[in-house]
Amino acid sequence: MKTIVTMGRGGTGKTSFVALMAKYLIAHRKTPLLLVDADPDQNLAEMVGVDLEASGRKTIAELLSETFIERGGTTVGVAPSKRIENRIWELGLYEGGDFDLFAVGTKWVEGCYCLPDAALKNALSAITKQYAYVLIDSPGGLEHLNRKIASSVEIIIDVMGPSSKSFAHVKRAHRVIREVGITFDNFYVVGGNGFPDGLDARAECETGLPYLGKIEYDQEVAGAVLAGRSLLEIPEGSAGYRSVGGLVELVL
């Protein structure tokens, strides 16, 4: 199993990148594939053409709250991690033909986090083990790292924006991830669609991390996102998709 997590400042193109990576993995039969939307703002589903609410799916946060707060959170009987795992399979997971998807959501459990957090950690690792590839889309910034949706991943990719702050962000992200105890095999940097050309050497030198290349600006991608259309449907030949395919090949 390979888990790939995107990171980066707000608006650098993380979610579109995940959607295009999904398109590439599906096209190359790198399945079963699980997509995880860890952004409370939740727009990964839309970018891959899924309406979670209309398909009656609940977010992990909603399920945690129902399972451990509204239902009393007893530790007797079925183990807490098994209880939440069952509910995620049953009520949280969207199952599609090419990929499955769930959203983490916003409503977090208040009060003691220990039981739900530990239960969720075990449940998520049991669930993700069923897939060959797991793509996790993070919100912008670093705050979400405290939630530790995944504590051990293979690949982290920081998508850099055009601002000089992106360089500092990468270094901070790399440090904070290790501080919160998330383990990973490889940490890569890519340029988002707004990242200037010709800064490859600088990106690598300033961040001290391997720079893989750039996601090309693509009118098809921008148009699809604006119209709320699935990025899985954009043409194979589109520059944005082709550039993402090249990056995925490097990573895998």
Q: Least distance in Å: CB of 215 to Mg ion?
A: 13
- 39/85 with CB nearer ligand ATP: 39
- 6/81 with CB nearer Mg ion: 6
Residue 221 binding result from ligand ATP, Mg ion, none, given CB thresholds of 5 to 8 Å by partner type: ligand ATP
Q: Least distance in Å: CB of 222 to ligand ATP?
A: 4
Residue 217 binding result from Mg ion, ligand ATP, none, given CB thresholds of 5 to 8 Å by partner type: ligand ATP
Burial string for 192-215 (b: 16+ CB within 10 Å, else e) reads: bbbbeeebeeebeebbebebbbbb
Type of residue found at 94: Y
**Which residues lie closer than 8 Å to 250 by C-beta, 6 or more apart?**
212, 213
Residue 80 binding result from Mg ion, ligand ATP, none, given CB thresholds of 5 to 8 Å by partner type: none
Pick from 103, 88, 122, 120: which is nearest to 41 by CA?
103
14-27 vs 239-251: helix crossing angle, rounded to 10 = 80
Residue 16 binding result from Mg ion, ligand ATP, none, given CB thresholds of 5 to 8 Å by partner type: ligand ATP
Binding of residue 16 to Mg ion (CB under 5 A):
no
Binding site for ligand ATP (CB under 6 A): 8, 10-16, 39, 139-140, 193, 215, 217-218, 221-222, 225, 240
Q: How far is the C-alpha of 161 from the C-alpha of 122, rounded, in Å?
A: 34
HSE value, Cβ hemisphere, 13 Å, CA-based, for 116: 23
Q: Least distance in Å: CB of 45 to ligand ATP?
A: 13
Q: Least distance in Å: CB of 15 to ligand ATP?
A: 3
Find the binder of Mg ion among 3, 6, 12, 15 (CB under 5 A).
Answer: 15
- 9/14 with CB nearer Mg ion: 14
Q: Least distance in Å: CB of 137 to Mg ion?
A: 6
Type of residue found at 248: V
Residue 122: φ, ψ to 5°: -65, -40
Q: How far is the C-alpha of 136 from the C-alpha of 102, rounded, in Å?
A: 10
CB atoms within 10 A of CB 236: 10
Which residues here bind Mg ion, judged by CB under 5 A?
14-15
